[in-house]
Amino acid sequence: MSTLTTPHIDVHRAGDRMKTRVAWLDSKHSFSFGEHYDPENTHHGLLLVNNEDVVRPGEGFETHPHRDMEIVTWVLSGSLVHQDSLGHAGVIYPGLAQRMSAGTGILHSEKNDSWHLPPEQGGTGEHDDPVHFVQMWVVPDEPGLEPGYQQLEIDDELAGGGLVTVASGLPRYRDRTAIAINSSHSAMHVARLGLPGQPAVVDLPAAPYLHLFVTEGEVEMEGLGVLYAGDAVRLTRSGGQRITANRPSEMLVWEMHARLGGQ
């Protein structure tokens, strides 16, 4: 059970994240991940992983297992090919919502799908564009569920501005959620702000746990100050704050009504 009964806000700056860098991958971890372990930074609410990854052309994560986790991937630029042991395959790109439910166990790979025109059509014939994406893991309601996969194009909805509910198991969003997750206490929203024809302001939902992550641009949070790309804010027993874009921006917001280990 959570003992936090008063509002609490933590700001985590982009440059303070743990990092994994190898020849083909530049990964920044908001929470403990892999060899990077901090007992004081393992999760917020039900969110265990918020990794911002850049993968080189022609490279990616080879086939590997997952179990008992709801995994949402959000591409910022480039494209990512998903293939799994249940026969699902798809290309994920900006404006496409994607979810994989690991359940009782699933194997999958994720590869950079960037390409250019072949030389005979005026291109280089090489894969030379990186793919940039955020991958997030939340805990399902119970272990041992059936594995699954879902993706849906939502660019039109995002163009309308405001908070668009991308992935959710919360009953309140059932009729307006792009993809479903097996977590009845969680929802992920995306907002694109300050683009031509879009509002520059949005209000955060109220919830026991919120996680805001700026993927692009620069926004100002009421009562807090300016947030830049890669910055995150963890809110407890809070919400309602106004977010204003200082320039074209995008942010991901997890709304959670429980935490790991209890309400």
Rounded CA-CA distance 242/239 in Å is 9
**85 pLDDT more than 50:** yes
pLDDT of residue 207: 96
Cα–Cα distance, 207 to 189 (Å, whole number):
13
Instruction: Identify the bridge partners of residue 91 per DSSP, sorted by sequence position.
Output: 81
Of 246, 192, 195, 201, whose CA–CA distance to 219 is shortest?
246
Kind plus residue range of the DSSP H or E element containing 155: helix 155-159
Asked if residues 26 and 53 have their Cβ atoms less than 8 Å apart, the reply is: yes
- pTM value is 0.91
By three-state DSSP, how is residue 248 classified?
strand
The phi, psi pair for 121, rounded to 5°, reads: -110, 15
**Residues 131, 58: Cα–Cα separation, whole Å:** 10
pLDDT band, residue 4 (cuts 50/70/90):
very low
pLDDT-derived band at 262 (thresholds 50, 70, 90) equals low
Q: Mind listing the pLDDT tens digit for each residue in 206-244?
A: 999 999 999 999 999 999 999 999 999 999 999 899 999
pLDDT digits (tens, 9 = 90+) for 121-164: 454 555 578 999 999 999 999 999 999 999 999 999 998 889 99
Q: How confident is the model at residue 118 (pLDDT cuts 50, 70, 90)?
A: low
Do the beta carbons of residue 11 and residue 176 sit within 8 Å? Answer: no
Q: Which percentage of the chain shows pLDDT scores above 90?
A: 75
**In the predicted model, what is the mean pLDDT of the chain?**
90
Q: Which residues contact 142 (CB under 8 A, 6 or more apart)?
A: none
CA distances from 174 to 131, 166, 177, 179, 190 (A): 31, 11, 6, 9, 16
d(CA 185, CA 125): 46
* Residue range 157-210, pLDDT digits in tens: 998 889 999 999 999 998 889 999 999 999 999 999 998 888 899 999 999 999
Q: How confident is the model at residue 261 (pLDDT cuts 50, 70, 90)?
A: confident
